[in-house]
Structure 1
Amino acid sequence: MRALVTGGAGYLGSHTVTTLLDAGHDVLVLDSLAGAGRAGLERAAEVCGVELGDARLRLVVADIRRPEDWADEVVAWAPDAVVHFAGLKSPTESMASPAEYYSVNVGGTAYVAEAAVRAGARTLLFSSSATVYGDRAPVPVAESAPIDPVSPYGRSKAMAEQVLTDVHAASPELSVASLRYFNPVGAHPSGRMGEDPQGTPANLMPFVSRVASGAYPELTVFGADFATRDGSAVRDFIHVMDLAEAHVAALEWMAARPSEEAGVRVWNIGRGEGVTVFEMVRAFEEVTGRPVPFTVGGRRAGDIAESCADVGAVARDVGWRARRDVREMVRDLWAWQQAEQEGHGGP
């Protein structure tokens, strides 16, 4: 299979590129490199034993909002499938820059879908988010839960899903699937690839890792008075390699079926098990042997007590389930953190 991966140099995209290559597929990456640079993609090539720029892994550097800079090259490459990661991803940032989020996440998706149809692709997977469910969905959250996003980021993901549904209606030869991620964490088991947020990490796991390494003095746990088993918030964490494997499994499942059977699909991607913030802190301490000092602060605006996926649909349809547990998430993230600290080819 020939796959176009937009945003393939980023955290989720680069890990999915490695999984596609390992499965024998060829990949064309479309990425502006504004968020991640080339390092993630270069390392993906390294761990898979290929050369960036050869027949198996190519890169087009362009902004998805400027199809005049990339669409003809994509059409000429004639991908069988498209995996669309490219987009902006901070709910907090989206509150301050809503127009930019709609431009990239909605307008960009429309351009990618249009190019996919022109290129004759049969399948498009979209990188969506559990944020489309909003704050009031019942737990565990099933795909049938109402859509009620509370930020421009979440609304942009929901709108992009609708764009793809409409594109399929107009061009039924292109089947589409929206994968609603919960909380991807961890790193490639080689220790050569992982999440490298610029500045202060907004997500729990990268921040905890930096506290364990001594880069930050302590973690602030936002809220310890939730109605959960230990008072801290519960989240459904999934190893990034499980998420990458979910994409390959979904692509291969969709590709094996006529477009009218594959149609439009929506799948939650998570482990289907919640982990509290305090449980994650203890897991870091147990796996790494390092202390993770923390203080308890107040809840952040919009934080909810519990978020956990119902993953029955993707298991029934595709036969995929997450395989890696919390200890493996911590182990692989810590290996990446240590390798970067020691200067093993850090960007």
Structure 2
Amino acid sequence: MSTKILVTGGAGYIGSHAVVELSQAGYQPIIVDNFNNSQESAVAGIESILGKKVPLYRIDCADAEALRSVFAAEPDIAGVIHFAAFKAVGESVQKPLAYYQNNLGSLLALLTVIGEFKVQSLVFSSSCTVYGIPDALPVTEATPTKKANSPYGATKQMAEDILTDVAAAGGPRTILLRYFNPIGAHESAKIGELPLGVPNNLVPFITQTAAGIREKLTVYGTDYDTPDGSCIRDYIHVVDLAKAHVVAVQRLLDAQPDAAQVETFNVGTGRGNTVLEVVHTFEEVSGQKLNVELGPRRPGDVPAIYADATKAATELGFETETTLADSLASAWKWQQALAKA
């Protein structure tokens, strides 16, 4: 029997890619998702890639009783990767209460239930937003966390504090993966980023504009202190990011009794690219000219952030493999596959 890993939000963008990588690494992923911000077609894509069914439970992670039923039905779950959360920075500024209720409520319910079932390994989907607006770049894991620039970022900061306190009190050993901006899609073009409604993230808005679904792409802010005035981010291919979760799971399962109860790793490329650089690179790899509008700054956006990825390389043995151009090409391939579906 392969080792069971519960993946909350496993039908989402990053979660679906992590499920594929876990399975291909020899684990048995179990998906929990309420499909609030994902679609069942992602599960079909996962199963098409893997050539087999994956256990799926359609429940809300904030429902502790429903979570208990999953653990009861799936004995011997060895670890959990917790992705399930609302994730749009801009939306969180408009709907802060929904973000605090969902992102923290689901985590508290999960911790309660895995405590009851004595699960000792947890990988948490954190974010570079915990750094707020950093004083210096690139950010390392030792960079002080400052006031978050959005309620979304605040939920990630609070979640990290909760997990640290719970681990110190005998809860699960935890790895906090602070990741940057995932982009791209699986090479098969069977799974990828699938936003419901108007995309909140840059790359799906780019690909939808190129496909004619959106009339234009608005670049929010052109007066930042960056080389071209647009925001800087660290764009990591989603498959690279998914592989980092597999490495983190293995580290937890192999941990010795005296290992640290909580570890934190940045997961990024270590390179920053401006929004306009991403736009121009996409135009080059796709051959599509985009209708770009330059707009005002957007509430909640941090001017610039990118990772120092040294710790992940030295301690996890993890490094990214995919270039920005290849990541954007995979996103365009995915958009074209969606058009044919």
Partners of 1:246 and 1:265 in 2: CA distance: 14
- Is 2:121 the counterpart of 1:123? yes
SS of 1:80's equivalent in the other structure is strand
Partners of 1:47 and 1:24 in 2: CA distance: 15
- Give yes or no for contact 2:226–2:232 (8 Å, CA) kept in 1: yes
* Aligned pair partner of 1:48 in 44, 47, 50: 50
Deviation at 1:241, TM superposition (A): 0.3
- Give yes or no for contact 2:221–2:297 (8 Å, CA) kept in 1: yes
Partners of 2:44 and 2:130 in 1: CA distance: 32
- Give yes or no for contact 2:231–2:304 (8 Å, CA) kept in 1: yes
* Aligned pair partner of 2:232 in 234, 252, 258: 234
Deviation at 1:136, TM superposition (A): 3.3
Deviation at 1:340, TM superposition (A): 0.6
* Aligned pair partner of 2:17 in 15, 18, 22: 15
Partners of 1:277 and 1:150 in 2: CA distance: 19
- Give yes or no for contact 2:37–2:195 (8 Å, CA) kept in 1: no
Q: C-alpha offsets along residues 60-91 of structure 1, whole Å, 9 cap, x if unaligned?
A: 11111111122133145221110000111122
Aligned to 1:152: 151
Aligned to 1:54: none
Partners of 2:208 and 2:97 in 1: CA distance: 33
- Give yes or no for contact 2:133–2:303 (8 Å, CA) kept in 1: no
Aligned to 1:178: 176
Partners of 2:99 and 2:310 in 1: CA distance: 31
SS of 2:186's equivalent in the other structure is coil
Return the TM-score normalized by structure 1: 0.93
- Give yes or no for contact 2:93–2:300 (8 Å, CA) kept in 1: no
Q: CA RMSD in A?
A: 1.6
- Give yes or no for contact 1:31–1:86 (8 Å, CA) kept in 2: yes
- Is 2:69 the counterpart of 1:72? yes
Partners of 1:137 and 1:2 in 2: CA distance: 41
Partners of 1:129 and 1:62 in 2: CA distance: 24
Q: C-alpha offsets along residues 107-136 of structure 1, whole Å, 9 cap, x if unaligned?
A: 211221222233232310011111111123
Deviates more, 1:115-124 or 1:205-214: 115-124
Partners of 2:215 and 2:37 in 1: CA distance: 27
- Give yes or no for contact 2:176–2:265 (8 Å, CA) kept in 1: yes
- Give yes or no for contact 2:129–2:153 (8 Å, CA) kept in 1: yes
Structure 1 residues 340, 296: CA separation in 2 closer, same or farther (over 3 Å shift)?
A: same
Counterpart residue identity of residue 59, structure 2: A
Structure 1 residues 102, 191: CA separation in 2 closer, same or farther (over 3 Å shift)?
A: same
Deviation at 1:95, TM superposition (A): 2.6
* Aligned pair partner of 1:307 in 305, 308, 329: 305
- Is 2:218 the counterpart of 1:216? no
Return the TM-score normalized by structure 2: 0.94
SS of 2:124's equivalent in the other structure is strand
Deviates more, 1:204-213 or 1:93-102: 93-102
- Give yes or no for contact 1:3–1:81 (8 Å, CA) kept in 2: yes
Structure 1 residues 99, 277: CA separation in 2 closer, same or farther (over 3 Å shift)?
A: closer
- Give yes or no for contact 2:269–2:309 (8 Å, CA) kept in 1: yes
Deviation at 1:295, TM superposition (A): 2.3
Give the unaligned 5+ runs of structure 2.
none
Deviation at 1:259, TM superposition (A): 4.4
- Give yes or no for contact 1:135–1:304 (8 Å, CA) kept in 2: yes
- Give yes or no for contact 2:149–2:301 (8 Å, CA) kept in 1: no
Deviation at 1:222, TM superposition (A): 1.9
**Percent same amino acid among aligned pairs?**
39
Aligned to 2:86: 88
Partners of 2:301 and 2:105 in 1: CA distance: 28
Aligned to 2:40: 38
Partners of 1:145 and 1:221 in 2: CA distance: 28
Structure 1 residues 125, 259: CA separation in 2 closer, same or farther (over 3 Å shift)?
A: farther
- Give yes or no for contact 1:82–1:124 (8 Å, CA) kept in 2: yes
- Is 2:173 the counterpart of 1:166? no
SS of 1:329's equivalent in the other structure is helix
Aligned to 2:111: 113
- Give yes or no for contact 1:117–1:171 (8 Å, CA) kept in 2: no
* Aligned pair partner of 1:193 in 184, 191, 194: 191
* Aligned pair partner of 1:140 in 138, 141, 158: 138
Partners of 1:114 and 1:170 in 2: CA distance: 13
Partners of 2:113 and 2:72 in 1: CA distance: 7
Partners of 2:90 and 2:293 in 1: CA distance: 22
Partners of 2:188 and 2:224 in 1: CA distance: 37
> What is the aligned residue count?
337
Partners of 1:113 and 1:258 in 2: CA distance: 22
Aligned to 2:259: 261
Aligned to 1:340: 338
Counterpart residue identity of residue 243, structure 1: L
